[in-house]
Amino acid sequence: MKFKYVVVGAGLAGLTVAERIASELDEKVLVIEKRNHIGGNVYDSYNEDGILIHNYGPHIFHTSDRDVYLYLSRFTQWNDYQHKVLAYVDGNLVPLPITVETVNKLYNLNLDCSQLEGFLKDKAEKLDEIKTSRDVALSKVGRDIYEKIFENYTKKQWGVDPAELDTSVISRIPVRYNRDTRYFADRYQGMPRHGYARMCENMAANKNIKIMLNTDYKEIIGLIEYDILFYTGPVDYFYDYKHGRLSYRSIRFEFETVDKEEYQEAPVVNYPNDYDFTRITEFKKLTWQKHGKTTICKEYPCSEGEPYYPFPTKECKAVYALYEEEMKKERNVIFLGRLAEYRYYNMDAVVRRALDVFEEVKNRYEG
């Protein structure tokens, strides 16, 4: 069996590369996927009650990259969804990220936007160095807000103290000196009108794309001749764990359908200090589906299971650096995506990365 291009993994990274090869180069491409569906972690489906759920937790599309937005818009229409998140703190629901509305609700104040920066500056701790996620939070919002909103949530999410995690974890959570309670401020935001699975099916619809599901690529790769392999799986698995296993954080999802139209005030409610789960998602609030019942999902972070989040510690980065040296020696393998590059990517960033990689390959090999 011969294919000029082979892609391992049918998530957004793999599908983007495959679609570009099939459409722009008019070449056949084989996509090998270990799961029984395409779409990776953005996969969604209708449950037995007919409610559209995100099988691997909530995925909200947002980007300021116009090219990525226009590219994905070839495969879906969008609902103009603007994401809202509340956090259950001290018996009250407060909006995230931190805004003047959050501070006013936490402390029963009536600050205006011009007063927020001074308030947080008084709360913030002055640190000589910002080395960890704990340092980031303390230097931005001070100890009290850190303990109320960030500390225990991060411990539940990662299983370790924020003082052991690098700055990237909490740096992703912004502080806004205004009343904008949307979770994201990107120009383009929305949800695929007919779901992510439909969008991914449209991406893979080109006749040049052949997909093998329920297949570990190692079972068949020796039978395939190829010029270039795009690999989007875990990099330590690719190298048979020769430098040890990389650590990932996983999540156990607990779905429940409730016999009422609405369960909670916001699409996502975080629970930093109460309960073992980190958050509850109500999917109808994401998808705008009309239904007499509603389905929620509680997330329990754990160490075992599907690899979702690369572990952001110095030790893990050191192990990945060993694999990175191996990757540099490869001549016809391109590593792409969250698991292969051992870094956190938002959806738009992984699509952007895949588009850029395709352009590099096109220029290098197709000239």
pLDDT digits (tens, 9 = 90+) for 252-284: 999 999 999 999 999 999 999 999 999 999 999
CB atoms within 10 A of CB 15: 30
Residue that the structure tokens 């704990």 belong to: 134
Question: Which residue, among 146, 144, 88, has the nearest Cα to 272 in the 3D structure?
Answer: 88
In whole angstroms, what separates CA 228 from the centre of its chain? 27
Q: Which of 80, 85, 52 is nearest to 291 (CA)?
A: 52
Residues in the chain: 367
What residue ranges do the domains of the chain occupy? Answer: 5-38+204-247+311-366, 98-171
- SS3 category, 318: helix
For 208-234, write each residue's pLDDT tens digit: 999 999 999 999 999 999 999 999 999
Identify the three-state secondary structure at position 70.
helix
Q: Can you give the pLDDT at residue 196?
A: 98
Burial (CB < 10 A; 0-12, 13-18, 19+), residue 242, is exposed
CA distance linking residue 200 with residue 214, whole number of Å: 17
The reported pLDDT for the residue numbered 219 is 97
Show Cβ contacts of residue 205 under 8 Å, excluding neighbours closer than 6 positions.
none
> Is the CB of residue 155 less than 8 Å from the CB of residue 301?
no
Omega into 307 within 30° of 0, i.e. cis? no
In the block, residue with structure tokens 């205004």? 178
Which of the following CATH numbers is that of domain 5-38+204-247+311-366: 3.55.40.20, 3.40.50.720, 3.40.140.10, 3.30.70.100? Answer: 3.40.50.720
Sign of CA dihedral 213, 214, 216, 222: negative
Residue for token pair 């960890």: 132
| Average pLDDT along the chain, 367 residues, taken 10 residues at a time | 95 98 97 98 98 97 98 97 96 94 95 94 92 92 94 94 87 81 94 98 98 98 96 97 95 98 98 97 97 98 92 89 97 96 94 97 76
Are the C-beta atoms of 56 and 252 separated by less than 8 Å?
Answer: no
* Structure token pair of residue 53: 């759920």
